[in-house]
Chains A and B, each alone.
Chain A
Amino acid sequence: MNRLTFISKLKDTLELEENLSGNTNFKELDEWDSMTGMMLMGFVDNEFGVSLNTADLEALTTIDSLIERIGTDKFEE
């Protein structure tokens, strides 16, 4: 998956209103709460087989930071 597809899937899965970019900060989204956090964990696990924990969610800032946590090698150029 490339970054653009990832970002667009993320928007659909988390049912976010705002347009997203790599700089979008999760914590600043209107929709961000623990339920959205859980949906994000499910999405990342489904798509990449990466299991996030509470510390990951707490440390999470931008979408770029999430991509880094997942591993940039898992994204196509």
Chain B
Amino acid sequence: MGAVIKNIEYVFPNNRVSNEDLSEIFPDYDFSKFEEKIGIAARYWVSKEETAFDLAKRACEKLLKNVSLHSIDFLLYCTQSPDYFLPTTACILQHELGLNKNIGALDFNLGCSGFTYGVSLAKSLINSGQARNVLLVTAETYSKYLHPKDHSNRAIFGDAAAATLISFSEEEHIGNFLFGTDGGGYDKLIIRNGAAKHPYQADAQEKQYGSNNFYTENHLYMDGPEIFKFTSDNIPDFVKKILNVERKEIENVNQFIFHQANAFMLDFMRRKLNINKDNFYINLKEGGNTVSCTIPIALKEYSKQIDEEQTILLVGFGVGLSWSGGLIKLKYTL
């Protein structure tokens, strides 16, 4: 007995922002080099009135075209862009989608490690007999948190939502997921103001950082070099640990799908692990870094070429600092 990923659907907001569009706002920054190195050509940002919830709803409606609405018996909603401090966004989504009332629904706050966490939580709910069809939703709108003059993060982050159905299956398709946490790096990727610890400041001071980027403590701050260091110091060994637990070698994995943070960093880790280019997914050209949505988007796109069972290793890592991952088996297009 076990669990399996059955369907994935995702959506971007309508507003597509190309590198050419950004060049007009930031004429001094070389976006062609950015595109070549970081691998992003366009990202999508929500409008002022649109929220992550709106994207989530659209992604779920797309998924529910092929799935019975009343079969869903648990809703997991991963976001760092909730509509409200309270109530739980998942409760509103249950209502808006018309899901059954006798289901569990909760939000969890994780960023780039959120999808892999969600898959593992869904598997546990299914294997413990508490659910049979878990709807895992990741929805993020970091664009709302970015300072208008923070060209680096504006170039990297895009908004999206993904809906994934994880269901009961006679055979297990989801492996032993592993986790990692280092809250010592909590301030490497942070929005300081606006929650309980530090209130939103209308007159927050503008600060300069990195390559001529600006932010205030009301905005998202990312210490890029430290995030790069954390990732390159931890993730390759973490991948080896996953393989070790599963008694697999690099060669036994058909595809490695990491959180699509940036192409340079991904390729750096690929080389560190000696993985062939063909077995390592890098595609964030359209959409950019969509936080907890990059892995389901990548998995859906990659699955289009699957015609027999494949072993895929998923790893998410980022804000927290937090990381998680494991092996899945997939034999069809999602």
Contacts and interface: CB of A to CB of B under 8 A. Distances in A.
A38 B211 CA distance: 12
Interface stretch (A2-10, A48-56, A68-76): A48-56
A46 B271 contact: yes
Contacts of B224: 34, 37-38
Interface in B258-279: 264-265, 268, 271-272
A38 to B, nearest CB: 5
Contacts of B229: 41, 51-54
Given A51-B229, A53-B226, A54-B223, A38 B264 contact: yes
A68 B223 CA distance: 24
B225 A42 contact: no
Interface in B194-225: 210-213, 223-225
A69 to B, nearest CB: 14
A20 interface: no
> Is chain B's interface secondary structure helix, strand, loop, or mixed overall?
helix
A16 to B, nearest CB: 12
B331 to A, nearest CB: 35
A36 to B, nearest CB: 8
Nearest to A45: B232
Nearest to A39: B264
A15 B36 CA distance: 12
B211 A33 contact: yes
A53 B224 CA distance: 10
Contact of B211 (A34, A39, A42): A34
Interface string A13-49: 0010000000000000000111101110110011000
Contacts of A38: 224-225, 228, 264-265
A15 to B, nearest CB: 8
B211 A57 contact: no
Given A37-B225, A51-B232, 16 more contacts: A33-B212, A34-B213, A34-B224, A34-B225, A35-B211, A37-B224, A38-B225, A41-B228, A41-B229, A42-B264, A42-B265, A45-B232, A45-B268, A53-B229, A54-B223, A54-B229
20 contacts: A33-B210, A33-B211, A34-B152, A34-B210, A34-B224, A35-B37, A35-B38, A35-B152, A35-B264, A38-B228, A41-B228, A42-B232, A42-B264, A46-B268, A46-B271, A46-B272, A51-B232, A52-B225, A53-B225, A54-B223
When A and B form their complex, which 7 residue pairs have the shortest distance between CB atoms, in order from nearest?
Answer: A33-B211, A34-B210, A54-B225, A34-B211, A42-B268, A54-B226, A34-B224
